[in-house]
Amino acid sequence: MKRAIRYLLGLSLIAMSCDDPNPLDAAWSKFGAGDYPGAHAEFSSLVGSEGSGAYVGLGWTAMKMDSLPESDTYFGLASGDSLLEGFAGWSILAWLQGQHVLCIDRAEYVFRNAGGYSFFVFPYDPTITYHDLLLHEGFSYYHTLNFSACINIIQRIDPSFSIALNDPQLQNILLAKLQSLTQEYD
């Protein structure tokens, strides 16, 4: 009898835990709706229980609120758990701050761990795709004068693009192409 009771109790606990919503969902819903102050408050209240997941949300939210130093702190706090959404945000943040080498490194981390260039999807804002990361990475290579790598990034987005490294208009053509791709995927 005790065995049957333990078995039923175990099944009940399993069944009840399957219905538990993710505590971060409400905060991400506010983020997705553009309620950044509400999302910030919600994520802040979840730091103790959700840790890195809440810090990633705070990082994205602070970035949307133009609080870049705060965003950097939150992404840094979440980085130990290697969450792809966090590194994607941290990459974009690095680009916004003009830290091009960090932008490249963090974007490449996302792509390596997402299984390739076309596999990263930011689930909380459908306007942010792998194209955004590639474009930020491409601009970063451009700004670090690594034109060969910049061309490679552009070709991942537009395989038909071709230019010689010794073309006298290389910098102008690369910049124009990056800008046109930004308009296309914006």
Domain boundaries, the chain: 20-81, 100-186
SS (HEC) of the chain = CHHHHHHHHHHHHHHHHHCCCCCCHHHHHHHHCCCHHHHHHHHHHHHHHHCHHHHHHHHHHHHHCCCHHHHHHHHHHHHHHCCHHHHHHHHHHHHHCCCHHHHHHHHHHHHHHHCCCCCCECCCCCCCEHHHHHHHHHHHHHHCCCHHHHHHHHHHHCCCCCCCCCCCCHHHHHHHHHHHHHHHHC
pLDDT in tens, the chain (186 residues): 444 334 333 434 344 444 558 999 999 999 999 999 999 999 999 999 999 999 999 999 999 999 999 999 999 999 999 899 999 999 999 999 999 999 999 999 999 998 877 777 788 888 888 999 999 999 999 999 999 999 999 999 999 999 999 999 999 999 999 999 999 987
Give the pLDDT confidence score for residue 30 in this predicted structure. Answer: 96
Closest CA to 163 of 141, 179, 148, 142: 148
CATH class of the domain defined by 20-81: mainly alpha
